[in-house]
Amino acid sequence: MSHATGRTVLLIEEDPSLRRLLTLGLQYRGIQVITVSSPAQLPAMQGQQPDLLLLDIDGGVKSDWSLLTGVQSYPSLATLPKVVLAWENVLPADVYRSTTQTHVTCLAKPFDARALYATIEQLLLQIEAQEVLRIAQIASPAPSIWPVITAAALLLTVIGLMVHITITVVGILILLIALLGWTLGTKPETVPAPRT
C-alpha cells in the first residue's frame, strides 16, 4: 500500500475500459479517484479539489496536446502536478511554455502500469512533503527582534533604578551623618583669646 493514502487523483480518460483499470489500480493503492471522460466534463466537478491530474492525450495515432493546454485554463487545475499518457514522452515547446507553473511527467504509450503507479505515488509523496514543510514554516515563524528590544529596555530600566537607588542611599547616609553630628552636639573648640 502507498503512503499517499487519502490523496485524490483526477483521471481524464476517454476509453471506459482503460479508465476503469486505472481507477482500480489507483484505488488499490489507497488513492481516491475522480474520473471524467473528457475535459468538457470538468465544470461538473466543482467543489472537488484533486492533488494530481492523470491525463491521457491519446488522439488515435498521435497525441492531442491541446487537451493538456485546455486543462491548464482551469485555475484550480493549472498548478497541479500532471502525469500525461502520450505517444511521445517529451512535451512540445509550445506546450512546455504553457505548463511552466506546474510539474508535468510524460509517460510514453504503451506504458508500464507499475511505472505509472510508482510515478503517481512519488508525486503524491512530494506534495505531502511540501505541505509538511509549509505547515512547519507557518508554525515556526522567523525570529522576531521585539524580544531583544524588550530585554534591552528592561535592562536600561533596571540600570536607571539602580542609579537612582544608589544616589538616594548615598544622600540618606550623608543626611544621617549630618544629623548625628548636629544632634550629638559636638561643640566646636573654643579658641583662647589672644593676650595683650
Domain residue spans of the chain: 8-139, 148-183
Q: What is the pLDDT of residues 178-193, one digit of tens each?
A: 888 888 876 656 666 6
On the question of pLDDT at 173 being above 80, the answer is yes
What number does CATH give the domain 8-139? 3.40.50.2300
CB 128 within 8 A of CB 7: yes
Residue 95 pLDDT grade (very low, low, confident, very high; cuts 50, 70, 90):
low
Average pLDDT over residues 30-55: 83
On the question of pLDDT at 92 being above 70, the answer is no
Average pLDDT over residues 95-104: 60
Give the full edge-to-edge strand order of the sheet including 32-36. Answer: 32-36, 8-12, 52-56, 82-86, 104-108
Q: Using H for helix, E for strand and C for coil, what is the string for 135-188? A: HHHHHCCCCCCHHHHHHHHHHHHHHHHHHHHHHHHHHHHHHHHHHHHHHCCCCC
Q: 34 has which bridge partners?
A: 10
